[in-house]
C-alpha cells in the first residue's frame, strides 16, 4: 500500500474556516488536535469546582450547569451577573486556567485576526438533553474590544446567532465536537443562544455537550 492509501484510510479531521459575518468565524475541528489534554484539564477543573446550576437575578435556575477556571469566573445570583475571583460555592479562587486552554484560545483568536488575545476567564457550560441557553448578549466584560473564543465538545448543538437588536433574525449554526468559534469586533454584541439539545451520545464525553468560553473579562 502507498502512503497516499494509508492517509485515505485514516483521513485527517476536517479543518476549515467558515466566516459567519464580519468579526465571527467558525473554525471547524480546530480543537481536535488538543482533544486529550483539553479533556484532562477539564476533569481537573470539575474535580475542584463542580458544575452547578446558578440562579438568575429573576430567580430562575439555569438549565446549563456551569463552572469556571482562571483568575475570574462568571457568576449569577439574585444580586445580578458579574465576574468574581472567588468561587461562591467553595469560597476559594477558581481552578487555574489550564495552559492548553490559554494556548488554544490565543491560537484561534490569532487565526481569526485578533492577535495577542490572553484570556483571564474560562466559563465552562454543560448541556444535557433539553438544556437550552436563551437569547442574550455578553456585556459583563470590562473591555468589549476583546474577542470571545468558544470551544464545543461532546454532543452537537444548534447555536442561534442573531443581531444587535434582540428582534433581529437569527442564523442557526450547528456546532460539533472540536469546533471553535471566534467572536469579536462588530460581532461582539450580537445576541446569541443555544436551542434545546436533542438527546444524543458522544463516544468520549457521553450524553452531554461542554462549551468553553474564553474571555478577557477584567
What is the contact surface with ligand MD3 in residues (CB under 6 A)? 123, 125, 133, 138, 148, 150, 181, 183, 187-188, 190, 192, 194, 211, 213
Rounded to the nearest whole angstrom, what is the least distance from the CB of residue 210 to ligand MD3 in the complex?
A: 9
- The string of DSSP letters for 91-135 reads TEEPPPPPHHHHHHHHHHHHHTT-TT---SEEEEEEE-TT--EEE
Q: Does 141 participate in binding Fe ion (rule CB under 5 A)?
A: no
Partner whose binding site includes residue 187, from Fe ion, ligand MD3, none (CB under 5 to 8 Å by kind): ligand MD3
Picked from ligand MD3, Fe ion, none, the partner binding residue 146 (CB below 5 to 8 A depending on kind) is none
Strand partners, 58: none
Name the residue among 64, 87, 94 with its Cα closest to residue 210: 64
Q: Which is nearer to ligand MD3, 3 or 167 (CB)?
A: 167
Cβ at position 9, least distance to ligand MD3 in Å: 34
Q: Give the cell for residue 208.
A: 452531554
**What is the C-alpha to C-alpha distance for residues 29 and 101, in angstroms, rounded to an integer?**
15
List 87, 120, 138, 179, residue binding Fe ion (CB under 5 A): 138
Question: Cβ 36 to ligand MD3, closest distance in Å?
Answer: 22
What are the distances in angstroms from CA 89 to CA 48, 62, 123?
11, 16, 15
Cell readout for 99 is: 495552559
Are 33 and 180 a contacting pair, CB within 8 Å?
Answer: no
- Compare residues 16 and 139 and give the one whose CB is closer to Fe ion: 139
The distance of closest approach from Cβ of residue 165 to ligand MD3 in the complex, given in angstroms and rounded to an integer, is: 14
Choose from ligand MD3, Fe ion, none: what does 211 bind? Cβ within 5-8 Å by kind: ligand MD3
Work out how close the CB of 93 gets to ligand MD3 at its nearest, in angstroms, rounded to a whole number. Answer: 20
- Smaller CB separation from ligand MD3, 190 or 216: 190
Cα(158)–Cα(175) distance, rounded to whole angstroms? 6
Taking a C-beta distance cutoff of 8 angstroms, is the pair 193, 187 a contact?
Answer: no
Pick what 42 binds: Fe ion, ligand MD3, none; C-beta below 5 to 8 Å, kind-dependent: none
Amino acid at each position: 500500500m502507498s502512503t497516499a492509501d494509508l492517509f485515505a484510510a485514516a483521513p485527517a479531521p476536517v479543518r476549515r474556516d467558515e466566516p459567519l459575518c464580519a468579526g465571527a468565524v467558525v473554525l471547524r475541528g480546530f480543537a481536535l488536535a488538543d482533544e486529550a489534554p483539553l479533556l484532562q484539564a477539564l476533569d481537573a477543573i470539575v474535580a475542584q469546582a463542580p458544575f452547578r446550576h446558578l440562579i438568575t437575578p429573576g430567580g430562575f435556575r439555569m438549565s446549563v450547569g456551569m463552572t469556571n477556571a482562571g483568575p475570574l469566573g462568571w457568576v449569577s445570583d439574585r444580586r445580578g451577573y458579574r465576574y468574581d475571583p472567588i468561587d461562591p460555592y467553595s469560597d476559594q479562587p477558581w481552578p487555574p486556567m489550564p495552559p492548553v486552554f490559554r494556548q488554544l484560545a490565543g491560537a484561534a483568536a490569532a487565526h481569526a485576526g485578533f492577535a495577542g488575545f490572553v484570556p483571564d476567564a474560562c466559563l465552562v457550560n454543560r448541556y444535557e438533553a433539553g438544556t437550552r441557553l436563551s437569547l442574550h448578549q455578553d456585556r459583563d466584560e470590562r473591555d468589549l474590544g476583546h474577542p470571545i473564543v468558544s470551544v464545543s465538545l461532546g454532543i452537537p448543538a444548534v447555536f442561534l446567532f442573531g443581531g444587535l437588536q434582540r428582534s433581529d433574525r437569527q442564523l442557526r449554526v450547528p456546532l460539533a465536537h472540536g469546533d471553535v468559534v471566534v467572536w469579536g469586533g462588530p460581532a461582539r454584541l450580537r445576541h446569541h443562544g443555544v436551542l434545546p439539545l436533542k438527546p444524543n451520545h458522544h463516544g468520549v464525553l457521553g450524553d452531554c455537550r461542554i462549551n468553553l468560553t474564553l474571555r478577557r473579562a477584567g
